[in-house]
Amino acid sequence: MKLSNRYCFAAYQSQVEPTLKANYATHDFSQASDLGYQTSASAVFSANIEGNSLDLNSFMNLQLARRKFKPTKEVIEIENLITAYQFAQRHPLNEMNLLKSHQLLAKTLLVSRQRGKYRRNRAGVFSPSGLVYLAVEPELVAAEMGALFAEIAQLLNSTLTLTEIFYFASLIHLRFVHIHPFVDGNGRAARLAEKWFLAHHLGENGWRVPAERHYKTHQADYYQALNLGVNFYELDDEQCLPFLLMLPGCLEK
């Protein structure tokens, strides 16, 4: 999948353009008291998608009482993800910084030698019934990620419409997940990269787009829309529209 091929863009544009601009203009980006709170919410919902059981209210209350209680692994996992988001908010989106952000978010997920490093083993996505998706071979991961970030660099230096910004942010997320570059933390890193791209073009409001909450609320649809084929070489990229439509959907009232 090359981002420049603009898979399903005509159909996406026809469905999104009439409402996205209005929804973005009227969305209450100040609903969180500050960016720090919104960052915590993004990290909680992103971690929830991967099985972390702490809801936002519980996490925030545990933060208030942190001096009284030893933090659990689930608390630390979310705190590490918050640290990765904060790192991204201070640095430009590029491959080196993405690897650094993974090193931060994966502290409870992986041993040190695997954090911020592309995987060296075969990897897939499994369900209770068996293998759902087999990712690209480990020896090809670095080349695939290099090609992805070369295209991202071009998009970061381009003037894009609001529709294009949301479209490419989603496509980056989708491509990242399908490459599956890490042993663990791929979903968290992909959702972070999506927000990182939004923020480059939209400023602080990009970090406030409630994408992670929307994906968690519609988790079954999210996973179904990610599933475009049984392996990296049989992905039906022309069927990516349902996934691409999820991000603008997070702004709908």
pLDDT of residue 111: 97
Residue of 100, 98, 51, 117 whose CA lies nearest to 78: 51
Beta carbons of 212 and 49 less than 8 angstroms apart: yes
Residue by residue, DSSP assigns 174-192 as HHHHHH--SSS-HHHHHHH
pLDDT for 31: 59
Domain boundaries, the chain: 3-249
Instruction: Encode pLDDT of 232-252 as tens digits.
Output: 999 999 999 999 999 999 999
Handedness of CA 43, 46, 51, 55 (dihedral sign): positive
Report the b/e string of 99-118 with b at 16+ CB within 10 A: bbbbbbbbbbbbeeebbbbb
Token reading at 168 = 């490419």
Read off the pLDDT of residues 102-154 as tens digits, 9 standing for 90 and up: 999 999 999 999 999 999 999 999 888 889 999 999 999 999 999 999 999 99
Please say whether the beta carbons of 13 and 237 come within 8 A: no
How much helix, strand and coil, in percent to the nearest 5, is found in the chain?
65, 5, 30
DSSP for 46-97, written as a single string: HHHHTT----HHHHHHHHHTTTTSPPPHHHHHHHHHHHHHHHHHHS--SHHH
> CB under 8 Å to 174, separation ≥6 — which residues?
1, 226, 240, 243, 244
- The CATH code of the domain at 3-249 is 1.10.3290.10
**C-alpha count within 13 angstroms, C-beta hemisphere, residue 250:** 24
Q: Do the Cβ atoms of 101 and 88 come closer than 8 Å?
A: yes
Write out the two tokens for 162: 């609001």
| 182-233 pLDDT per residue, tens | 999 999 999 999 999 999 999 999 999 999 999 999 999 999 999 999 999 9
The CA dihedral of 107, 109, 110, 112, to the nearest 10 degrees, is 10
Question: What are the strands, taking DSSP E only, across the chain?
Answer: 124-127, 130-134
Asked whether the beta carbons of 210 and 193 are under 8 A apart, the reply is no
* Residue 158: pLDDT over 80: yes
23-74 per-position pLDDT tens digit: 999 888 775 568 999 999 999 999 999 999 999 999 999 988 877 778 899 9
